[in-house]
Chains A and B, each alone.
Chain A
Amino acid sequence: MSSVDPRLLEILVCPLTKGPLRYDPERQELVSEKAGLAYPIRDGIPIMLVDEARRLDGASAAPAAPAPPSAPPPATGQA
């Protein structure tokens, strides 16, 4: 039950850039090259949340999102 539904692969885009995603079956990730993020697929469920994505530039697992071109800056300063 851990394989992702093919219908989902057809319709999903990167939530930040709305650009295409590359499916990496080895790592079970959907990769957005433009955003530099890899969204995990857990038990067949794509987790299309920016703060759960892995950053491709190898930075530590800080959940901060890179500034998207059109979206408002992510909220900061929450203690």
Chain B
Amino acid sequence: MRAMSDGPYAPAGPARPAPSRALGRAPSHAGAAPADPARVFDRALHRTRRDRAAARLAADPKAETLLAAAAERLLDRLDDVTRRFTAALDLGARHGLVAAALRARGIASVVAAELSPRLARMAAGRGVPALAADEEALPFAAGSFDLILSNLSLHWVNDLPGALLQLRHALRPDGLFVATLWGLGTLAELRGALLEAESEATGGAAPRVSPFPDLRDAAGLLQRAGFALPVADAETLSVLYPDVFALFADIRAMGETNAVAERSRRPLPRGVLMDAVRRYAARHATAEGRIPATFRLITLTGWAPHESQQRPLRPGSAAARLADALGTEERSAGEKAGR
């Protein structure tokens, strides 16, 4: 079945711009026919993963450590803004961490939208109106919100440009959108160890770690979706785990287990997994024997356009001469200085 990856649906040259998906080109072991090449992620599977994460998040408060760290950075962005918000959406809310924090900040109307109905119910349990919704098909009327936040969910969306466009429509003019997502470089150590171990054992490797968008892609997408004053920045978080299995547990608790549509349907053989774990530890373990994992956190910020926002003037519309402001003499481009 290996030859199937050579078919016309090989994921090279996507028609639509999409997050970097270098790993998607690896030989696929998938037995099922791959679908639309633009469809990187299996959303139904991702929903199941999030449903399962609900139980872990409920049982173990430590499971939300990374989610909370990212949420804190997300909410920090609001402190940089003097605007008061009245109608907020927490998109990809999981159990309502960000939504509850927005409530605590005194925003009158906060809504939590989450792909997993089970997690949405946990969010509702915090007293936030909640619904189940798919980021790829948003159910909100135009201009429903003046603030949309999304914590660590949008890297699972197949059509990120489309999702951003829908989000902008859901915002009122001058509404703010801020999102965190995992970017390229996230879990680089794990990806490397798995690739090495699997290709040595089988001569090929399936994408075991999801592809992540890179910073430049993300910034461009914001702009293309029509957001004003778009900003994308990134921060690297290094987290120490007692061992590689503790890292796996953390990934599962966030509902972040690989859901690449062309992922291998065969589970990783135990021997290969153990080899990858050994390689990971051998290469990266600290002197105390702890395992570092890199997470690259991208934060996106954009505003729904409004007349009041700063924007560049039209060329030729200047009312004062730059030369006057600089106290110098203006020369035409053809003249050389000093003659």
Contacts and interface: CB of A to CB of B under 8 A. Distances in A.
Contacts of B115: 49
Given A12-B139, A12-B140, A49-B134, A5 B35 contact: no
Contacts of B188: none
Interface in B167-208: none
B280 to A, nearest CB: 31
Contact of A5 (B39, B129, B140, B261): B129
Contacts of A7: 109, 111, 129
| Interface bracket on B | 20 to 34
B211 interface: no
A15 B109 contact: no
A47 B137 contact: no
Contacts of A52: 117, 132
Interface residues of A, number: 30
B268 interface: no
A71 B137 CA distance: 9
A76 B140 contact: no
A15 B133 contact: yes
Contacts of B133: 15, 48-49
B138 interface: yes
B42 interface: yes
Contacts of A15: 133-134, 137-139
Closest 4 CB pairs of A and B: A5-B129, A15-B137, A48-B139, A11-B144
Interface of B: 31-33, 35-36, 38-39, 42, 44, 109, 111, 115, 117, 120-121, 124, 129-134, 137-141, 144-145, 159, 261
